[in-house]
Amino acid sequence: MSFSIRKQGDVVVVDVEGQLIVGNRQELKQKVLDELEKGERKFLIDFSQTGYIDSSGLGVLVSLSKKIREQGGELRLANLNDDLKTLFELTKLDTLFQIADTRERALESF
């Protein structure tokens, strides 16, 4: 499980590879907060290579969403598979996040 970060235009794109769970959530949080600290304001987290997410992972996404918004930024999510979509629907977090079907659509939405 790892996270890769790259810039696409003015958007910071984070790929979550493997699981986003209690054991690695802080790593994701710190990486995104570091970019926020540097002045980045547009963030896209891509889940196309993600296995499963637990409640800690969901909690980190909520936390990042709040912190990015506080700084006047935006967070988008993309490429949730059907199982991850169900997880977001069960927790109603699909109502909290802007979720795009593809990375391209997410990038266009900023």
66 binds another protein (CB under 8 A): yes
Closest CA to 51 of 90, 76, 31, 24: 24
19 binds another protein (CB under 8 A): yes
Burial 42-69 (b: 16+ CB within 10 A, else e): bbbbbbeebeebeeebbebbeebbeebe
Minimum Å gap between C-beta 64 and another protein is 10
33 binds another protein (CB under 8 A): no
Q: Which residue, 48 or 81, is less far from another protein as judged by CB?
A: 81
Place of tokens 């109603």: 92
Pairing of strands 50-53, 98-100: unpaired
Region from 3-11, 34-42, 71-79, 82-90 binding another protein, contact rule CB under 8 A: 82-90
Binding residues for another protein (CB under 8 A): 1, 19, 21-23, 51-56, 58-60, 62-63, 66, 81-83, 86-87, 90-93, 95-96
